[in-house]
Amino acid sequence: MNATTATHRILVLGAGYTGMLAAIRVARNTRRMDTDVTLVNPSARFTERLRMHQIAAGQELRNHSIPALLEGSRVDFHQAAAIAIDTAARTVALDDGATLTYDTLIYALGSTTDTSVVPGADQHAWTLNDPRLAHRFSEKLTEIAAVAGTVTVCGAGLTGIEAATEIAESHPELTVTLISSGEPGAMMGDKARAHMNRALDRLGIVRKVGVKVTKVLPDAVRLDSGETVASDLTLWTTGVKVSPLAAQAGIATDAQGLIVTDATLRSVSHPEIHAIGDAAAVRMAWGQVHGTCQTGLPTAAYTADALARLLRGKRIKPFRIGYFHQPLSLGRKDAVVQFTNADDTPKRWYLKGLTARIYKESVSSTPPMAFKQSKYMKATVQLSQGGRATRATA
C-alpha cells in the first residue's frame, strides 16, 4: 500500500468491541497523516455484549453513547446500517440512502445468535443480540417470576451459563432449566467445572444434559429424547451467524460466511479489506480462532497498527494470538476463571469466588476504558501471543 497526497479514506463497518477500538486507534495512529476515518453503525449506543445477560436479568447498566466515546478521536460517526459493498467501486451503500467511498475498509460486522436452525426458535425464543430485546425480556421475566413460572436457557456455553445463573439469582422464585447437548463448562478443567456446578446447584438450576432441542413452542421446548419441558420464557444462546454482506459482495468467505484472511488479517481476495473480530476467519498453528472479546480486541489493535505502518510503506509482522483465560460470571456474587493454554485448553490454575468475581468484572469493564485510553495512547489489550504455539500459521 503506497501513501499518496490525496486523503486516504478509512471506513470501519460495525461499532462493536472490535470496530470501536479499530476506528479510534487507527485515527490516533494516523493523526499526522492525511486520513479520514469514518465509523458506521446502526445504533448510536455502544452495546456491551459481555453484559447482555445482566440486562436480561433486569439490571440497569450505564448507557455508553458512541458519539461520546468517539469525542476527540478524529473519527466521524455515521449512524446507519450497511446494506451492500461494491468492491470494484470501493463503496458501501447504507440504509439511509447514503453511499460512502473507501480506500481501506475495516470489516467489523460481528456475529449474532442463530435462531434459524431449530423450528420455532425464531418465533418463540428470545436472544441476547440486542439490548432493547434483552430489556423487554427482563420485563417479561418479572411477570413470569410473579407467578413462579419457568424459564429455559438453551445452550450451555459461557453465555448460556452466565444468563442462567444471573436469572436464577435475580429471581429465585423461578424454575430455571439449562439445556445442553454437551457438558456445561466443558472447556474448563475439573476443579473449575466443579465450582461452577456447585454454583448451579446452589441457585437451583435444573440441567438437561446430552439432549438437543428439536422444537421451540410458545410455552415449552421439545427435546430429541421425546421429553417436553414447560417454558414460559425461552432464551436461545446457542449457534452463531454472521452478516451475509461480505459473501454477497464477492469477498472470499468460508462456509460460515467469515472473511478468509491472510496472516495479516487482510482479505485474501481483496487486500484493501481488513477483517477483524467475529467477521474474520483467523487461523493459528493450533487451529481457527473462535470469536470472543479476548481475541477480537487484539485483532482490532493489530489491524489499526498494521494499517498505519502500511500507509507509511513499512512492513508488518503476521498477527499472532493465544488464549489466556476463560472468565465466567455465576451471578453477581460468584465467578470462576479458568486459565488456559494458547489453544484454549485448560491449565491447572483457576480462580473462584470473590477473587474470580473481581477479576471477571475487571475484564468486562475494560473495553470502554480501552476506547478512551486509545484516543491518547496505545492501550494494551492483548494478554498473550501464544508463544511458540502460534509462530506459524496452519
In SS3 terms, the chain reads as CCCCCCCEEEEEECCCHHHHHHHHHHHHHCCCCCEEEEEEECCCEECCHHHHHHHHCCCCCCCEEHHHHHCCCCEEEEECCEEEEECCCCEEEECCCCEEECCEEEECCCEEECCCCCCCHHHHEECCCCHHHHHHHHHHHHHHHHCCCEEEEECCCHHHHHHHHHHHHHCCCCEEEEEECCCCCCCCCHHHHHHHHHHHHHCCCEEEECCCEEEEECCEEEECCCCEEECCEEEECCCEEECCHHHHCCCCECCCCCEEECCCCEECCCCCEEECHHHEECEECCEECCCCHHHHHHHHHHHHHHHHHHHCCCCCCCCCCCCCEEEEECCCCCEEEEEECCCCCEEEEEEEHHHHHHHHHHHHHHHHHHHHHHCCCCCCCCCCCCHHHHCCCC
Supply the pLDDT for residue 1: 45
Q: Indicate the pLDDT class of residue 278, thresholds 50, 70 and 90.
A: very high
Identify which has the larger pLDDT, 385 or 339: 339
Q: How far is CA 50 from CA 16, 144, 188, in A?
A: 11, 25, 19
- In which band, very low, low, confident or very high, does the pLDDT at 4 lie, cut at 50, 70 and 90? very low
In the predicted structure, residue 386 carries a pLDDT above the cut 70? no
State mean pLDDT over 91-116: 97
Query: Is the pLDDT reported for residue 161 higher than 50?
Result: yes
More confident residue, 183 or 388: 183
**Residues with Cβ < 8 Å from 271, sequence gap 6 or more?**
262
In this prediction, residues 218-229 reach a mean pLDDT of 97
What was the pLDDT predicted at 383? 54
Mean of the per-residue pLDDT values for the chain? 93
Q: What is the pLDDT of residues 126-149, one digit of tens each?
A: 999 999 999 999 999 999 999 999
The pLDDT value given to residue 177: 98
pLDDT exceeds cutoff 90 at 32: yes
Mean pLDDT of 246-254: 97
Q: Is the model's pLDDT at 277 over the cut of 90?
A: yes
Can you tell me the mean pLDDT for 375-394? 59
Q: What is the Cα–Cα distance from 159 to 259, expressed in whole angstroms?
A: 24
pLDDT at 369: 85
Q: What is the pLDDT of residue 389?
A: 47
Proportion of the chain above pLDDT 70, given as a percent = 95
pLDDT given for residue 390 in this prediction: 45
Statement: residue 379 has pLDDT above 80: no
According to the model, what pLDDT value does residue 293 have?
82
Straight-line distance from the first to the last Cα atom of the chain, in angstroms, rounded to the nearest whole number = 26
Q: What is the pLDDT of residue 375?
A: 84
Indicate the CATH number of 8-110+243-390 among 1.10.150.120, 3.50.50.100, 3.40.50.300, 3.90.110.10: 3.50.50.100
Average pLDDT over residues 69-95: 97
Residue 2: pLDDT band (50, 70, 90) is very low
Looking at residues 299-304, what average pLDDT do you find?
96
121-236 CATH: 3.50.50.60
Q: Quick check: 294 pLDDT over 90?
A: no
Q: When comparing pLDDT for 276 and 295, which is higher? A: 276
Q: What is the pLDDT of residues 311-353, one digit of tens each?
A: 999 999 999 999 999 999 999 999 999 999 999 999 999 999 9
Separation between Cα atoms, residue 174 and residue 204, nearest integer Å: 9
Enumerate the domain spans of the chain: 8-110+243-390, 121-236
Q: Taking residues 216-242, what's their average pLDDT?
A: 96
**62: CB partners within 8 A, 6+ apart:** none
Mean pLDDT on 255-272: 96
Domains 8-110+243-390 and 121-236 share a fold: yes
Is 1 or 166 the better-scoring residue by pLDDT?
Answer: 166
Q: Is the pTM of this model over 0.85?
A: yes
Q: Which of 195, 187, 151 is nearest to 169 (CA)?
A: 151
Q: Is residue 283 within 8 Å of 263, Cβ to Cβ?
A: no
